[in-house]
């Protein structure tokens, strides 16, 4: 599992609408339906593939008028992968702390204004938080020893100013290093996603 940013260069071509603004969270050993429950989300149905997921998110936004927050969850290699097109729930401390209770998670987020964040939680406690575009500024119990890993996946932990595309690719690679879950176009397209909606806040 020596993933680097180069392993995720396919993102922009394969799912450009998703990575323009997204939150991806990986939760270890918690089933998709329980993930929805921990988020206070109600199940809404199933879709197959990342394109159908993005379309469902767009339709859910229109149908709810923005009052509900769309997310979709699929099991991959012992983890639940939560994808939120144009979402942010997984990036919130309260959400991540609850989702990681009794387990661990990693989550990364980017919005259309290039605000970004990567975090790792274990049993409700923040272990690492870094902004992919500003990887020199880190916090959490594991932040002190993270520089070598960040550099290895494609960040420059000494300075700001990374290209937004490279920073996003490096965030996906860092998630793979920490979880062992490799996301590929084939994995995303074959996955059956349990969709849900939570109250917007």
Tell me the per-residue pLDDT of 112-165, one tens digit each, with 9 for 90 and over. 998 999 999 999 999 999 999 999 889 999 998 999 999 999 998 777 666 889
Structure letter (DSSP) for residue 171: H
Residue 96 pLDDT:
98
Alpha helices in the chain (DSSP H): 11-14, 16-19, 32-38, 50-64, 93-99, 147-153, 164-179, 185-190
In this structure, is the dihedral angle defined by the CA atoms of residues 7, 157, 147 and 181, taken in order, positive or negative?
negative
User: pLDDT tens for residues 12-34?
Assistant: 999 999 999 999 999 999 999 99
Q: Which domain holds residue 40?
A: 5-199
Please state, in angstroms and rounded to a whole number, the distance separating the CA atoms of residues 105 and 99: 7
- First CA to last CA distance, the chain: 36
Would you say 196 and 42 are in contact if contact means Cβ atoms under 8 Å apart? yes
Question: Closest Cα to residue 23, out of 100, 99, 117, 105?
Answer: 117
Task: Using alpha carbons, list the distances in angstroms from residue 32 to 49, 167, 179.
Answer: 16, 28, 17
The pLDDT, as a whole number, for residue 67 is: 87
114/168 Cα distance (integer angstroms): 10
For 69-109, write each residue's pLDDT tens digit: 999 999 999 999 999 999 999 999 999 999 999 999 999 99
HSE-up (13 A, CA, CB side) for residue 44: 22
pLDDT at 36 exceeding the cut of 80? yes
Closest CA to 140 of 126, 123, 125, 153: 126
- Report how far residue 86's alpha carbon sits from residue 100's, in angstroms, rounded to the nearest whole number: 22
Give the single-character DSSP code of 49: S
- Inform me whether the pLDDT recorded for 185 exceeds 70: yes
Q: Say yes or no to pLDDT of 201 above 90.
A: no
Predicted pLDDT at 162: 67
pLDDT at 188 over 90: yes
So what's the pLDDT on residue 161? 62
Q: According to the model, what pLDDT value does residue 1 have?
A: 61
Instruction: Say whether pLDDT at 178 is over 90.
Output: yes
Each residue of 155-174: pLDDT tens digit?
987 776 668 899 999 999 99
Q: What is the pLDDT of residue 66?
A: 81
Return the half-sphere exposure (C-beta side, CA atoms, 13 A cut-off) of residue 185.
Answer: 10
Number of domains composing the chain: 1
The reported pTM is 0.96
């Amino acid at each position: 599992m020596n993933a680097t940013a180069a392993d995720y260069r396919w993102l922009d071509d394969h799912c450009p609408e998703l990575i323009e603004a997204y939150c991806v969270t990986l939760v270890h050993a918690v089933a998709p339906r329980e993930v929805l429950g921990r988020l206070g989300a109600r199940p809404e149905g199933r879709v197959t593939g990342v394109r159908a997921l993005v379309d469902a998110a767009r339709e859910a936004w229109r149908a709810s008028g923005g009052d509900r927050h769309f997310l979709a969850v699929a099991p991959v290699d012992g983890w639940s992968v939560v994808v939120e097109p144009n979402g942010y729930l997984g990036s919130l401390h309260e959400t991540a702390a609850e989702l990681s209770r009794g387990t661990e998670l990693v989550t990364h987020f980017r919005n259309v204004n290039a605000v970004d964040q990567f975090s790792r939680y274990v049993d409700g406690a923040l272990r690492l938080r870094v902004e992919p575009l500003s990887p020199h500024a880190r916090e959490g119990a594991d932040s002190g020893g993270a520089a070598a890993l960040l550099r290895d996946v494609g960040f420059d932990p000494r300075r700001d100013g990374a290209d937004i595309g490279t920073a996003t690719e490096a965030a996906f690679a860092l998630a793979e290093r920490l979880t062992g879950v490799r996301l590929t176009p084939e994995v995303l397209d074959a996955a059956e996603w349990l969709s849900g909606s939570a109250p917007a806040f």
